[in-house]
Amino acid sequence: MPMGLKVFVAARFSVGSIFTGAHGLFVVSLLAAFGATITGITAVANAGKAAPNSAMLGIAAGTLSMLATAFALSAPITIPFGILALLAAIPAVMWFAFWVRNREFIQRS
Protein backbone atom coordinates (compact mmCIF):
# COMPACT_ATOMS: atom_id res chain seq x y z
CA MET A 1 0.00 0.00 0.00
CA PRO A 2 1.42 3.45 -0.86
CA MET A 3 2.45 5.55 2.11
CA GLY A 4 0.07 8.40 1.27
CA LEU A 5 -2.83 5.95 1.40
CA LYS A 6 -1.61 4.61 4.75
CA VAL A 7 -1.66 8.11 6.22
CA PHE A 8 -5.16 8.73 4.79
CA VAL A 9 -6.48 5.44 6.19
CA ALA A 10 -4.95 6.14 9.61
CA ALA A 11 -6.57 9.58 9.74
CA ARG A 12 -9.98 8.30 8.61
CA PHE A 13 -9.96 5.35 11.00
CA SER A 14 -8.97 7.57 13.93
CA VAL A 15 -11.89 9.93 13.21
CA GLY A 16 -14.25 6.98 12.76
CA SER A 17 -13.18 5.32 15.98
CA ILE A 18 -13.92 8.48 17.98
CA PHE A 19 -17.42 8.97 16.58
CA THR A 20 -18.42 5.30 16.73
CA GLY A 21 -17.12 5.10 20.30
CA ALA A 22 -19.20 8.09 21.31
CA HIS A 23 -22.31 6.47 19.87
CA GLY A 24 -21.83 3.27 21.85
CA LEU A 25 -20.48 0.99 19.11
CA PHE A 26 -17.72 -0.40 21.29
CA VAL A 27 -16.42 -3.22 19.07
CA VAL A 28 -16.51 -1.13 15.89
CA SER A 29 -14.66 1.67 17.66
CA LEU A 30 -11.94 -0.67 18.88
CA LEU A 31 -11.54 -2.22 15.42
CA ALA A 32 -11.23 1.23 13.84
CA ALA A 33 -8.70 2.30 16.47
CA PHE A 34 -6.74 -0.90 15.86
CA GLY A 35 -6.77 -0.24 12.10
CA ALA A 36 -5.61 3.33 12.65
CA THR A 37 -2.82 2.13 14.89
CA ILE A 38 -1.54 -0.53 12.50
CA THR A 39 -1.62 1.67 9.40
CA GLY A 40 -0.18 4.58 11.35
CA ILE A 41 2.71 2.48 12.64
CA THR A 42 3.59 1.28 9.15
CA ALA A 43 3.41 4.83 7.74
CA VAL A 44 5.60 6.19 10.54
CA ALA A 45 8.07 3.33 10.07
CA ASN A 46 8.37 4.08 6.36
CA ALA A 47 8.82 7.80 6.97
CA GLY A 48 11.28 7.18 9.78
CA LYS A 49 13.66 5.51 7.34
CA ALA A 50 13.81 8.61 5.15
CA ALA A 51 13.49 11.41 7.71
CA PRO A 52 13.79 10.28 11.35
CA ASN A 53 12.93 13.73 12.73
CA SER A 54 9.50 13.81 11.09
CA ALA A 55 8.39 10.46 12.51
CA MET A 56 7.66 12.08 15.88
CA LEU A 57 4.67 13.94 14.43
CA GLY A 58 3.14 10.65 13.26
CA ILE A 59 3.75 9.05 16.64
CA ALA A 60 2.01 11.98 18.35
CA ALA A 61 -0.93 11.75 15.93
CA GLY A 62 -1.35 8.04 16.60
CA THR A 63 -1.12 8.52 20.35
CA LEU A 64 -3.68 11.33 20.37
CA SER A 65 -6.09 9.32 18.25
CA MET A 66 -5.91 6.43 20.73
CA LEU A 67 -6.35 8.76 23.72
CA ALA A 68 -9.34 10.49 22.12
CA THR A 69 -10.93 7.12 21.37
CA ALA A 70 -10.35 5.98 24.95
CA PHE A 71 -11.93 9.20 26.21
CA ALA A 72 -14.95 8.79 23.93
CA LEU A 73 -15.43 5.19 25.08
CA SER A 74 -15.05 5.91 28.79
CA ALA A 75 -16.97 9.17 29.11
CA PRO A 76 -19.60 8.86 31.84
CA ILE A 77 -21.98 11.28 30.08
CA THR A 78 -22.90 12.04 26.49
CA ILE A 79 -20.20 14.15 24.89
CA PRO A 80 -21.45 17.20 22.94
CA PHE A 81 -20.91 17.07 19.19
CA GLY A 82 -18.60 20.11 19.16
CA ILE A 83 -16.20 18.47 21.59
CA LEU A 84 -16.31 15.22 19.62
CA ALA A 85 -15.55 17.09 16.42
CA LEU A 86 -12.59 18.78 18.09
CA LEU A 87 -11.34 15.46 19.49
CA ALA A 88 -11.56 13.94 16.01
CA ALA A 89 -10.08 16.93 14.19
CA ILE A 90 -6.88 17.20 16.22
CA PRO A 91 -5.41 13.79 15.24
CA ALA A 92 -6.68 14.20 11.67
CA VAL A 93 -4.91 17.56 11.36
CA MET A 94 -1.76 16.03 12.82
CA TRP A 95 -1.90 13.19 10.27
CA PHE A 96 -2.30 15.82 7.55
CA ALA A 97 0.73 17.72 8.90
CA PHE A 98 2.68 14.45 8.93
CA TRP A 99 1.72 13.89 5.30
CA VAL A 100 2.71 17.44 4.31
CA ARG A 101 6.04 17.15 6.07
CA ASN A 102 6.83 13.85 4.33
CA ARG A 103 5.24 14.69 0.98
CA GLU A 104 8.49 14.38 -0.99
CA PHE A 105 9.18 10.93 0.40
CA ILE A 106 5.57 9.88 -0.10
CA GLN A 107 5.61 10.89 -3.77
CA ARG A 108 8.82 8.90 -4.35
CA SER A 109 7.44 5.74 -2.74
List pLDDT tens digits, range 4-44. Answer: 888 899 999 999 998 888 888 889 988 998 898 899 888 88
Task: State pLDDT tens for residues 66-104.
Answer: 888 888 888 888 888 888 889 889 989 999 998 888 887
Rounded Cα distance, 51 and 28, in Å? 34
Estimate to the nearest angstrom the gap between the alpha carbon of 66 and the chain centroid.
8
Write out the E strands in 14-85: none
Handedness of CA 96, 100, 105, 107 (dihedral sign): positive
Count how many domains the chain has.
1
pTM for the full predicted model: 0.82
Q: Is residue 52 part of a domain?
A: yes
Has residue 109 got a pLDDT over 70? Answer: no
Q: Is residue 21 part of a domain?
A: yes
Residue 93 is predicted with a pLDDT of: 92
Residue 105 is predicted with a pLDDT of: 74
DSSP structure string for 89-104: HHHHHHHHHHHHHTHH
Has residue 107 got a pLDDT over 80? Answer: no
Cα dihedral angle (22, 25, 31, 35), rounded to 10 degrees?
-40
Q: Is residue 86 part of a domain?
A: yes
Domain range enclosing 55: 3-104
Q: Is residue 109 part of a domain?
A: no
